[in-house]
Structure 1
């Protein structure tokens, strides 16, 4: 099994894949070195993706989108992961997460205003969940939104926010009633130009160097109550409902990144010679790559089962957690063993395998750490 031509996808899906892969080869890979030095991807790259119809594929036509099924999103996630440097691309937060929060819980006015802008990248979205003292434990968040007449007054801080520098708005998780714990969390749209909304530094990461990952600060930020997404106190329930979708998206990225690392390595060992023969001629190479190919094939098979359910809207939190756990942990094993075949060259930044190695590490942390995935799975035993 390979990344292309899997039974879960139709010929139309595969045509979309071909176009997406061409887009990344032409627009991302020649520029990734410079963008990593800049530590940000330019808005022009976002706008080109929007112009080519790659953003927010699942947004219905009435809101300016193509109205495609969720599998188109997942193909684009896979191709983002398969591209060299794709780990830094923040499209998924926009297309696979925030867009669906708005589609499923937003008001008609919110959908009509924001979704067309997200499709074209006129507006870039971020989602504000993690805080300095609150990662996977979302119930412990301290950012507050206090009702004052027809407005909310927001105070707090978020960190590790993808698209934090580029964002035009943040879908912010706040506590509207701290006494109620999880049932007091709400989701509120906060536009980036609101007084008191400050974007902090672009965080210096070990990988994903071209991704703008930021701290966000909110000091007496006033937003109208019409910016509330869903009802007050429903934020945690909305997040729990949408998290399986986020986790299957991360799984697609991780699986594709692992596949690209394997493919790069397979090409390399066929050419690299040592002791008078290619690396592939050694039994150790053959056995190691045979193990990795088997693990990748198992991953694709399980992932495709989950994709069918995600497209139908029946993917359970347990299945989303298992998909993320398996693919991200397996990616770590794959890229580590693949880098070893490159020897000293694998430690050099100019070799794509070194970028794959450092970029992969965060997959086991964000979107819910592997330990949290195990907790979720264990609850079903």
Structure 2
């Protein structure tokens, strides 16, 4: 999308977030669901196909535009972004990176029209540890397809999804570069696919996760992403760069919402005869939050511009996600403190911000896993230069 058109879209989206989505938040929280009419509006706005190439019916946003869109959406309740985030993030990225032309022609238009995708990597016994992955894919009896068995856990949008990208073991033994893992495009209405009840969570009302159970699920040979075994984990990890940028942009957007709420409350709440916004220690918490949000926004602009130039962003995407998610946690903690006793009450927004933000430090790679990954790649780069 050209920049002038995108700026018009971004301005329209900001109005939609503030005038439509935020007023509907009490309904989302009460019903633990995004209203169907809002989901349809989001489809009509093209939000489910933001990163789908234009030739397949999508908006064709580059990484900078995509991250900014997510950042704008994240100002509202997390459920709104969550319902389309897998489509425009990891699923679309995996199709771009690893799908055959036939697979792109089949699935990109479906994403653009609003079909919902999910991403099946995490399992009960493994998350970032691919060696522990237990879901299997074996050749079907006729040799023309695959049979999948296993369970995936904590899968965002699984209860509503039309299609899943499932990581499965195609070799019994662990192989170098995770070549024992392949990726499969699995329709959620396929025989043998079922989902558990949505998990009850600490926060993020209206955003649903559940298990996916695969019981002798037969898929055709065309379901193997890229048409080759052993490439699935690489496709998944490349997609996670995209997902981590999305989480970082989301955390920065939600931190901005929380800080704006704290500024408003600090000007309304009076103590000792004056607004608490006049007190220097309150001002310090507000200022520290602004400083950190600005740093995250600057990181977002840098890493996305690098991605658009075709640079390897593995380290920087992980660094942005770590900093932004940890920053958001610090900001919402300060916001509760600014609210004081009211910050602990469910009738005020601060308590919700605090619960909603906690997951950002966990999904798409915990802070600790990403610290290990960053260090590992730093050391590899040093060895390549000095070895």
Q: Normalising to structure 1: TM-score of the pair?
A: 0.93
- Between 174-183 and 343-352, the greater mean CA deviation after superposition: 343-352
Counterpart-to-counterpart distance in 2, 1:196 and 1:49: 31
Could you say if the C-alpha distance between residues 243 and 75 of structure 1 is closer, same or farther in structure 2, counting changes exceeding 3 Å? same
Structure 2 residue matching 1:180: 3-state secondary structure: coil
Counterpart-to-counterpart distance in 2, 1:106 and 1:358: 37
Counterpart-to-counterpart distance in 2, 1:294 and 1:305: 17
Q: Decide whether the 8 Å contact of 1:57 with 1:69 is kept in 2.
A: no
Counterpart-to-counterpart distance in 1, 2:7 and 2:182: 39
* 1:153 is aligned to 2:147: yes
Of the three residues 93, 96, 120, the one matched with 2:86 is: 93
Of the three residues 1, 17, 24, the one matched with 2:17 is: 24
Structure 1 residue matching 2:23: 3-state secondary structure: coil
Of the three residues 6, 10, 22, the one matched with 1:13 is: 6
Q: Decide whether the 8 Å contact of 1:196 with 1:218 is kept in 2.
A: yes
Counterpart-to-counterpart distance in 1, 2:265 and 2:201: 28
The Cα of 1:87 is off from its aligned counterpart by 6.7
Counterpart-to-counterpart distance in 2, 1:236 and 1:137: 11
Which residue in the other structure is 1:4 paired with? none
Q: Decide whether the 8 Å contact of 1:255 with 1:299 is kept in 2.
A: yes
Of the three residues 213, 216, 221, the one matched with 1:217 is: 213
Structure 1 residue matching 2:167: 3-state secondary structure: strand
Counterpart-to-counterpart distance in 2, 1:154 and 1:329: 37
Which 5+ residue runs of structure 2 have no aligned equivalent?
A: 380-387
* 1:41 is aligned to 2:34: yes
Structure 2 residue matching 1:134: 3-state secondary structure: coil
Counterpart-to-counterpart distance in 2, 1:297 and 1:266: 16
Which residue in the other structure is 1:337 paired with? 334
* 1:162 is aligned to 2:159: no
The Cα of 1:283 is off from its aligned counterpart by 1.1
Q: How does 1:1-381 map to 2 (within 5 A)?
A: 12-86=5-79, 89-121=82-114, 123-148=115-140, 149-181=143-175, 182-230=178-226, 231-379=228-376, 380-381=378-379
Structure 2 residue matching 1:216: 3-state secondary structure: strand
Could you say if the C-alpha distance between residues 214 and 128 of structure 1 is closer, same or farther in structure 2, counting changes exceeding 3 Å? same
Structure 2 residue matching 1:66: 3-state secondary structure: coil
Counterpart-to-counterpart distance in 2, 1:233 and 1:328: 32
The Cα of 1:13 is off from its aligned counterpart by 3.5
* Aligned pairs, number: 372
Structure 2 residue matching 1:309: 3-state secondary structure: helix
The Cα of 1:26 is off from its aligned counterpart by 4.2
The Cα of 1:310 is off from its aligned counterpart by 2.0
Q: Decide whether the 8 Å contact of 1:159 with 1:216 is kept in 2.
A: yes
Counterpart-to-counterpart distance in 1, 2:87 and 2:194: 20
Counterpart-to-counterpart distance in 2, 1:310 and 1:339: 35
Counterpart-to-counterpart distance in 2, 1:269 and 1:296: 19
Counterpart-to-counterpart distance in 2, 1:155 and 1:66: 35
Could you say if the C-alpha distance between residues 276 and 358 of structure 1 is closer, same or farther in structure 2, counting changes exceeding 3 Å? same
The Cα of 1:327 is off from its aligned counterpart by 0.5
- Between 63-72 and 304-313, the greater mean CA deviation after superposition: 63-72
The Cα of 1:242 is off from its aligned counterpart by 2.4
Deviations 1:262-291 (A, max 9, x none): 111112111211111111111111122222
Could you say if the C-alpha distance between residues 78 and 315 of structure 1 is closer, same or farther in structure 2, counting changes exceeding 3 Å? farther
Could you say if the C-alpha distance between residues 62 and 85 of structure 1 is closer, same or farther in structure 2, counting changes exceeding 3 Å? closer
- Between 82-91 and 360-369, the greater mean CA deviation after superposition: 82-91
Counterpart-to-counterpart distance in 1, 2:205 and 2:286: 29
Which 5+ residue runs of structure 1 have no aligned equivalent?
A: 1-8
